[in-house]
């Protein structure tokens, strides 16, 4: 089966992206929940099983810090070996953006690590890129320096834009950015502006947008979160979803396909005790 696809920077990617918070222990809930995730996914084999499930449906694009987590990269390679399919990789590194020669050398070395880990896309983490945002001039200072480094390393540049203005400032200034990560969900969870404003920014963006937190980090059911997002983003945009188990991945794909086809998803009922 081939899941719907879109083009980002000249590369074809699945519109559903495999997220990694539920592999690496970032629950956005509690330390206990984080520890539970790490207990479940304490080996590359358990992560690979989820990735292989997505690959079965043509969901072949993964967003995660594979250059910082060797266990994740091992899992990706294992899933590729088992399935015979290639995973497109989106890395989200933190880099040193201090305005010094030493910092630039350090940043370049970090970007080379992303490429060595197999990254096709390099989207600077929001913790990094937000340090460069200057609202007064509606600019992101020295961003062209880093996008040039990313290109030099052979990756497609993008930004993690938790701050929605980043999308607007990039478009206004014509920066060499091919895509953005943007938080988007019906609850407004972790969003810095109201849902309607972020929706308008996404629809006005000059490049495809990779949305995240569609289920508000587990605060909404997949049916509610995915149907809202698929019906409010553009055909060129994407949704990033993290799953803990192969069964969850199956459900996410089925709910998504049902949303595209405007039919009820064929999934089991929840248990009630």
Give the pLDDT of residue 229.
98
Which class for 79: exposed (0-12), middle (13-18), buried (19 or more C-beta within 10 A)?
Answer: buried
CATH class of the region 5-261: alpha beta
Read off φ and ψ for residue 180, nearest 5 degrees.
-135, 145
Tally of CA atoms within 13 A in the half-sphere of 78 that contains its CB: 16
Mean pLDDT by 10 residues, the chain (273 residues): 93 98 92 94 96 98 93 96 97 96 97 96 94 95 97 97 93 97 96 95 97 95 97 98 96 97 92 78
H/E stretch holding 22 reads helix 21-24
**pLDDT of the residue at 189:** 95
**Cα–Cα distance measured from residue 193 to residue 196, given in angstroms and rounded to the nearest whole number:** 8
The pLDDT value recorded for residue 1 is: 66
Per-domain residue ranges of the chain: 5-261
- Phi, psi angles (nearest 5°) of residue 35: -65, -35
For 164, which DSSP code?
T
Contact partners, residue 93, CB within 8 Å, separation at least 6:
65, 67, 68, 110, 111, 113, 114, 122, 124, 125, 128
pTM, rounded to two decimals: 0.95
User: Does residue 161 contact residue 182 with C-beta atoms inside 8 Å?
Assistant: yes
Report angle CA 91, 205, 216 to the nearest 5 degrees: 60
CA–CA gap between residue 122 and residue 158 (Å, rounded)? 6
pLDDT of residue 2: 86
The owner of tokens 């967003």 is 63
Name the 3-class secondary structure at 213.
coil
């Amino acid at each position: 089966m081939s899941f719907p696809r879109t083009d980002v920077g000249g590369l074809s990617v699945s519109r559903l992206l495999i997220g990694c918070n539920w592999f690496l222990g970032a629950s956005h809930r509690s330390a206990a929940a984080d520890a539970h995730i790490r207990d479940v996914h304490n080996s590359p084999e358990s992560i690979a099983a989820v990735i292989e499930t997505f690959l079965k449906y043509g969901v072949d694009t993964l967003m995660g810090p594979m250059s910082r987590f060797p266990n994740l990269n091992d899992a990706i390679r294992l899933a590729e070996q088992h399935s015979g399919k290639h995973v497109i990789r989106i890395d989200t590194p933190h880099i040193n953006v201090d305005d010094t020669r030493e910092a630039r050398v350090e940043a370049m070395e970090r970007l080379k690590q992303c490429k060595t880990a197999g990254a096709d896309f390099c989207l600077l983490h929001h913790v990094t890129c937000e340090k460069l945002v200057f609202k007064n001039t509606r600019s992101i200072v020295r961003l062209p320096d880093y996008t040039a480094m990313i290109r030099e390393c052979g990756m497609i540049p993008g930004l993690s834009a938790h701050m929605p203005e980043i999308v607007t400032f990039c478009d206004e200034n014509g920066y060499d950015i091919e895509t953005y990560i943007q938080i988007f969900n019906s609850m407004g969870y972790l969003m810095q502006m109201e849902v309607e404003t972020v929706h308008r920014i996404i629809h006005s963006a000059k490049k495809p947008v990779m949305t995240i937190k569609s289920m508000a980090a587990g605060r909404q059911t997949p049916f509610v979160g995915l149907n809202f997002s698929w019906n409010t983003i553009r055909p060129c945009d994407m949704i990033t979803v993290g799953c803990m188990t192969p069964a969850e991945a199956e459900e996410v794909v089925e709910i998504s396909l049902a949303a595209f086809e405007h039919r009820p998803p064929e999934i089991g009922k929840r248990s009630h005790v």
